[in-house]
């Protein structure tokens, strides 16, 4: 009886260790599946953030182009205004010279 009891105990120990190995394998697969799902969710979240940032960047690029065009226009207006002011100053100088030339004749 001892021999058969020993054989039963050994057989049930092997069955128990086999079940434990299966449990460990199932646990490992569940952990792996959980980790993969978490990574997929994280990747999807990062993709959404990336898409959002690309959209913002595109909007900023458009705004920069608009501001650069406005800057060019403002610079052109400034140059035109400076040229007009120079012309007016030149006309004032000519008028001063004409007046200076008339004063001695008027007093003589």
Question: What does the pLDDT look like over 2-34, one tens digit per residue?
Answer: 555 555 566 555 656 677 888 999 999 999 999
Q: Is the pTM of this model over 0.75?
A: no
Mean pLDDT of the chain: 88
Q: List the structure tokens of 50.
A: 């990336």
- Unique residue bearing structure tokens 């434990």: 20
- For position 1, what pLDDT does the model report? 47
């Amino acid at each position: 009886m001892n021999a058969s009891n020993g054989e039963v105990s050994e057989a049930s120990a092997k069955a128990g260790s086999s079940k434990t190995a299966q449990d460990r394998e199932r646990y490992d697969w569940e952990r792996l599946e959980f980790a993969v799902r978490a990574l997929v969710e994280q990747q999807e979240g990062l993709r959404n953030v990336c898409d959002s940032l690309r959209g913002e960047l595109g909007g900023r690029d458009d705004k920069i182009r608009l501001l650069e065009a406005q800057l060019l226009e403002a610079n052109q207006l400034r140059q035109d205004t400076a040229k007009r002011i120079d012309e007016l100053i030149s006309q004032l100088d000519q008028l001063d010279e004409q007046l200076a030339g008339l004063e001695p004749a008027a007093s003589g």
